[in-house]
A and B are shown apart, each in its own frame.
Chain A
Amino acid sequence: MTSSNKAAAHHAPDVKMYFIIFGALLVLTAATVLVSYLELPKMLGITIGLMIATVKASLVAAFFMHLKGERTLIYGFLGLTVFFMAVLFLLPITDAVETEKNRQPMAVGSVLPQAAGEAHHEEAATPAAHEAPAETKKPAKSKKPAGAKKSAH
Chain B
Amino acid sequence: MNGNYGWGLPIQASTFAKEIDLGIYAIHGIMFAIFILWSVFFVYLLVRYRARPGVPSEHWETGTLQSMIPDLIVLGIEICLILFYALPAWSRIKMTVPPEGKSNVVEIVAEQFAWTVHYPGADAKFGRSNAALVDAQNPAGLDAADDAGKDDVVTVNELHIPLGKPTVVYLSSKDVIHSLFIPEFRVKQDAMPGMKIPVWFEPTLTGKFEIGCAQLCGIAHSIMRADVFVHTPEEYEKWLAAQHPQTQPY
Contacts and interface: CB of A to CB of B under 8 A. Distances in A.
B184 interface: no
Interface residues of A, number: 15
B132 A107 contact: no
A94 to B, nearest CB: 15
A103 interface: yes
B130 A109 contact: yes
Contacts of B172: 106-108
A54 B194 CA distance: 35
Question: Which of A99, A102, A124 has the largest count of B CB atoms less than 10 A from its CB?
Answer: A102
Contacts of A108: 109, 129-131, 134, 140-141, 172, 174
Contact of A125 (B130, B134, B193, B195): B130
Contact of A102 (B109, B132, B133, B197): B197
B196 interface: yes
A106 B197 contact: no
Contacts of A104: 194-196
B142 to A, nearest CB: 10
B196 A120 contact: no
B109 A99 contact: no
Contacts of B134: 108
Interface of B: 107, 109, 128-134, 140-141, 170, 172, 174, 193-198
Closest 4 CB pairs of A and B: A109-B131, A109-B130, A108-B131, A102-B195
